[in-house]
Structure 1
Amino acid sequence: MATSRGSTTPTGDRRVRRSQAALARALLRLVEEQDLSRITVADVAELAGVSRSTFYDHYRDVHELAEAACTAMIDGLIESLPGDFNTADPGREATASLEAFFGSLAEHAGLYRALLGPQGSARVADHIRHRSTVAIQERLREAVESSEVPEMARPLLELPLDVPAAFTAGALIGVAAEWLQGGCTRSPGEMAALTWPLFHSLFRIETRPSR
């Protein structure tokens, strides 16, 4: 396969990425104007400036493109989740991270609403749930390892983290889906302020010994 001068990246790979990026951008524009179910391959291809055959080189249908576009954004979106759950007064940093999370959802509300709604994509919902669970579990582990906890309270920190992480990820997805279906009537900032206490109440590491 040919490569450009001074580069080891195959030109074909770059063409594939450019085509996929163009198709994703086109879909994101279209889904803000109409329901995903009404968007055709021809609509996306025309707006992206590619042929229908090029579309089918990459995706089976519009729904598969939507799943690819959504899951790609999820990886960046998950990074905005809070880093420290174990603080009663998180200040601006923690709530700002949740605000960024809801803000990212709101930016592409049409797409997320379609994929997380009643007729949505189980694949996308599962991807979000899994990625969120992994990210939250890692943040919990970091919080536990960095906490100064009395020796008598150490057993509390030896509990498995996968179940509370999965529980929280599922709850967060449920809150986000409900908010999207309701038209995002609350701002991302309001959602962050309402959601943070739930995070903290679930993951607060209790350091006081029982009587």
Structure 2
Amino acid sequence: MRRTQAALQRTLIDLVQDRELSRISVADVAERAGVSRSTFYDHYRDVHELAEAACTTMIDDLIEAIPNPGAGDVPHTPADTLLTFFAHLADHAGLYRSVLGSQGSARVIGHVRRRATVAAYLGARRAATGDETPSPADYTARTPHDVPAAFTAGALIGVATDWLEHGCPRSPAEMAALTKPLLMALYREDVHPRP
């Protein structure tokens, strides 16, 4: 069972490097993975559900690279954090362009947004309280509405998606250098008091 799921996920990741997710069918994935369509449907409802499953590990890696906002935290975020974030995107540009772009998967986009928001929220909570909190993977159901965290997640995903859709015209280092001052300006203590 897990072997088949892994094969389907790897196949989708390979296919999405060459064409948009919206142009990949269940038949394409099943044939390339060497399984029947009924076997595909034993594991996933459709290609979008498979995309969400296939991207989970990569999304978790992506979220780990997102800076953690909080009182005084972002201004001290090392430049290499953003560099890691954009380098990860560049290394998997075909996949992320397909799943995050205008023809991508709403499920995957929603998943990325939720995970990024949770990571930002937890980073701010750690910075403000010093408390150790669960990892983003363990905390998604209990995250309260947090405007700065949601804004950070949306802003980074928006910038990343735009960059990917334009073919990554700037290097990851240039993107990190352009993005860091924006985050620093957003997370000065005097800009947005937390309730």
Q: TM-score, normalised by structure 1?
A: 0.73
Determine which of 120, 127, 140 is the counterpart of 2:124. Answer: 140
Q: Alpha carbons of 1:167 and 1:131: their partners in 2 closer, same or farther (altered >3 Å)?
A: same
Contact 2:21 2:103 in 1 (8 A): no
Aligned length: 176
Q: Alpha carbons of 1:141 and 1:193: their partners in 2 closer, same or farther (altered >3 Å)?
A: same
| Gaps in structure 2 of 5+ consecutive residues | 131-143, 191-195
Q: 1:61 and 2:46 equivalent?
A: yes
Q: Deviations over 1:127-158 (max 9, x none)?
A: 11111111111111222235xxxxxxxxxxxx
- Which of 1 and 2 has greater Rg? 1
Question: What corresponds to 1:188 in structure 2?
Answer: 172
Residue 69 of structure 1, CA deviation:
1.6
Mapped to 2, the partners of 1:37 and 1:164 lie a distance apart of 32
Q: 1:82 and 2:37 equivalent?
A: no
Mapped to 2, the partners of 1:184 and 1:162 lie a distance apart of 30
| Gaps in structure 1 of 5+ consecutive residues | 1-15, 147-159, 207-211
Q: Secondary structure at the match of 1:33?
A: coil
Mapped to 2, the partners of 1:88 and 1:30 lie a distance apart of 37
Give the letter aligned to residue 138 of structure 1: L
Q: With a CA cutoff of 8 Å and minimum separation of 6, indicate the structure with the bigger relative contact order.
A: 2
Determine which of 4, 9, 12 is the counterpart of 1:27. Answer: 12
Contact 2:74 2:187 in 1 (8 A): no
Give the letter aligned to residue 39 of structure 1: I
Mapped to 2, the partners of 1:134 and 1:78 lie a distance apart of 9
- Runs of 4+ deviating beyond 3 Å: 87-90
Question: What corresponds to 1:125 in structure 2?
Answer: 109
Mapped to 1, the partners of 2:22 and 2:126 lie a distance apart of 42
Q: TM-score, normalised by structure 2?
A: 0.78
Q: Secondary structure at the match of 1:118?
A: coil
How many percent identity over aligned positions? Answer: 63
Mapped to 1, the partners of 2:104 and 2:145 lie a distance apart of 29
